[in-house]
Structure 1
Amino acid sequence: MQGLNLNRRGSQIYLLVWLCLGSAFGSVLVLAKVAPLANALLFAIPMHLLYAFVAGYSAHYLCRAYPLSGRSEGAIVLVLLMAAMVSGLLWLGAGQLWNSACLALGVSWAGIALGPQLAATVVGLGVLLYGFAAALHYLVIEFVRAKQAEQRELESLLMAQEAELRMLRTQIDPHFLFNSLNSISALTSQDARAARRMTLELASFFRQSLGMEAHKKVTLGEELKLIRHFLAIEQVRFGERLQISEQVGEQADDCLVPPMIIQPLVENAVKHGICNLPEGGVIVLTARRSGSMLQIRVENPVDPDAGAVQRDGHGIGLSNVRQRLAGVYKHEASIHWGRQDQRFAVEITMPAQTGEGE
């Protein structure tokens, strides 16, 4: 029975089943006119409750010693059959002792006539009930093993997913850093104040981005602060060519998003949009909450002769965002992109969560 004592409810159900079996056997004795109802139940129920423990513990250790996957079927059947026969005979002996004690009371409602035919029936029933207990233990063992294997697989999957998400979150375009450092170097001799401002913005950007790595999700407001540092750096490089239009709804600011999920989109908008336009343009960043969903849109102008990244959306930034959304939200989030006229837009839809427990 030890294998079934996974919780109180399981042991209660186990004992209730054996109680029902004892009552059923007592009813059979009454219908066969072997003994009156009280005598039959007084004999059958204690016998079955005793056998519940004896057969339960014996079957538990045998099922552990002879697992279905580690032994031949013949050896398992032979061992269980021998154990069932021994248990049935011991059960008969215990029943005879109990019946003798009941008869010694000298009252009409205790004790039954335990003849050879009934004794053989008790042994045969003991063999069958032992088989029932063994089958039940094998079922529980296989169920627990399947659950443990599923748990290990899930843990491995989560660890792999965490590693993948960590890798994706650290894929900041090195060109951004190199270009920023080159711009700072060039500005040092031309505009020391602008070089200092760009250096401070770059330090703030990386300080905040490293701080966000420790969190699985951050508020949209924190993500936008990081984006503003990034755009401030780029505005030093592009000057008036880079214009920003930010439209964020009141309820959207507190929604949780994966760290640096929007920054690659804005970076793409600068690299593949503004950078290729001599006259520059406006990057429009929109975020709004619609019921239980959060919608984020990044739109930028593009050169009519823009490259394949803007045409089919196979850039590293978009692939990064798509994989991270799938890893965090599965099918609940989506990302769509497309080009219309001379504008390219990326739109993300994800669950609007305001707490980690949601």
Structure 2
Amino acid sequence: MTPALSRRRAAVAAFLVCLALGLALAFVLSRSAPVPWINAALLVVPATLVYAIGTGFSTFYLCRAYPLNARHPAAILVVMLVAALFAGLLWATLLQFINSLSQLPEVPWLGVPLSQSLLLLFFGLGVLLYCLAGAVHYLLLEFVRAKTAEQRGLEARLSAQQAQLRMLRTQIDPHFLFNSLNSISALTSINPAGARTMTVELASFFRQSLSLEAHKHITLAQELVLIRHFLAIEQVRFGERLQVEETVDEAALACLLPPMLIQPLVENAVKHGICGLTGGGVITVSARRVGSLLRIQVRNPVDHEQVSPRGNGVGLDNVRQRLLGAYGHDAGVHWARQGDGFEVSISMPAQTGFTEEH
């Protein structure tokens, strides 16, 4: 709903409420006077509408001039009470003035005999209605202020979260780049053709990575393209020592995940797994969608005599923090050594489509 439409509907609703109030007061007056209902309606309804408009504007500006969080409660109470007494007096005076105009010789059937008790009743009712309008305006202003504060808080938390995610992502690229450049440098003298192949694959990797830089999420299929470029680079270095198996369900390929979420796990699998084994081994990357969850596993062999196959755990902690920042407690990462293998498992919401990406 647009703001203009909302204001229009609010104005119509306020008008209908004031009209209903005027008709109800006319009915009460017709019973109290007693006078014909039409006479009471012609007197009370216009006066009520005029009073409601004046009261609405008056309380709106008065509540803004004396906000609850910036003025002393006693000062607000005194100002509101004085304004309400003045407004009630104006309403009673307005009723008496309209009634005097109605009592003309040309139209003797118009007009209502307003006694002092009736004027006092309208005066008290006017004071009460003014105070009620002021209370409603204060509630609306506090509601808007609370919503604005909540929105600003959410924006601040979102900005902090995005800054943290950017910081975590910047830890990945330099680390991978330095390792790749060291590998290219080592191959330059002993395997120039391999060094050229690695350079081409490295360029392809970063071209693909930079094309996805502006996205908060990419599909699993796009992430697998990045991983294949990385593994192609490493296979030039390790040759047949590095074997890769992919087991990915078709339903999982369209699921969204933060860019370069799995790549650090595969890099760890090479660095802390394959690199330490003379005969190499197989890195297994699997993904499947289970209902509303996406489950990803990266498994690699490790030296059974090696106590700490995963170094200092920076890559794993990076993945854990990125998942926490993107999905909160709806996602998690777990790792464990199982015999001669090391497995990292990720569980996260299975989201698909551009609407879920943003």
Normalising by structure 1, report the TM-score: 0.91
Contact between 1:272 and 1:306, CA under 8 Å: does it hold in 2?
Answer: no
5 Å matches for 1:255-334?
A: 255-308=255-308, 310=310, 315-334=313-332
The farther-off stretch of 96-105 and 156-165 is: 96-105
Q: CA deviation at 1:265?
A: 1.1
Q: What's the counterpart of residue 179 of structure 2? A: 179
Report the AA paired with residue 322 of structure 1. Answer: R
Q: What's the counterpart of residue 23 of structure 1? A: 23
Contact between 1:287 and 1:294, CA under 8 Å: does it hold in 2?
Answer: yes
Structure 1 runs not aligned, ≥5 long: none
Distance in 2 (CA, whole Å) between partners of 1:29 and 1:179 is 90
5 Å matches for 1:43-192?
A: 43-104=43-104, 106=107, 108=109, 110-172=110-172, 174-192=174-192
Contact between 1:329 and 1:350, CA under 8 Å: does it hold in 2?
Answer: yes
Distance in 1 (CA, whole Å) between partners of 2:308 and 2:119 is 87
Q: CA deviation at 1:292?
A: 3.3
Contact between 1:88 and 1:126, CA under 8 Å: does it hold in 2?
Answer: yes
The farther-off stretch of 292-301 and 132-141 is: 292-301
Report the AA paired with residue 264 of structure 1. Answer: P
Distance in 2 (CA, whole Å) between partners of 1:346 and 1:185 is 31
5 Å matches for 1:194-209?
A: 194-209=194-209
Distance in 2 (CA, whole Å) between partners of 1:332 and 1:60 is 44
Q: What's the counterpart of residue 9 of structure 1? A: 9
Q: CA deviation at 1:13?
A: 3.0
Give aligned-pair identity as a percent: 59
Q: CA deviation at 1:22?
A: 2.2
Normalising by structure 2, report the TM-score: 0.91
Q: What's the counterpart of residue 230 of structure 2? A: 230
Contact between 2:302 and 2:309, CA under 8 Å: does it hold in 1?
Answer: no
Distance in 1 (CA, whole Å) between partners of 2:337 and 2:111 is 92
Count of residue correspondences: 351
Distance in 1 (CA, whole Å) between partners of 2:213 and 2:223 is 12
Q: CA deviation at 1:23?
A: 2.9
Partner-residue secondary structure (3-state), 1:7: helix
Partner-residue secondary structure (3-state), 1:300: strand
Q: CA deviation at 1:173?
A: 6.4
Distance in 1 (CA, whole Å) between partners of 2:150 and 2:179 is 48
Q: What's the counterpart of residue 338 of structure 2? A: 340
Report the AA paired with residue 179 of structure 2. Answer: N
Report the AA paired with residue 352 of structure 2. Answer: T
Partner-residue secondary structure (3-state), 1:346: strand
Distance in 1 (CA, whole Å) between partners of 2:6 and 2:65 is 19
Q: What's the counterpart of residue 357 of structure 1? A: 355
Structure 2 runs not aligned, ≥5 long: none
Q: What's the counterpart of residue 211 of structure 2? A: 211
Contact between 2:33 and 2:112, CA under 8 Å: does it hold in 1?
Answer: no
Contact between 1:227 and 1:266, CA under 8 Å: does it hold in 2?
Answer: yes
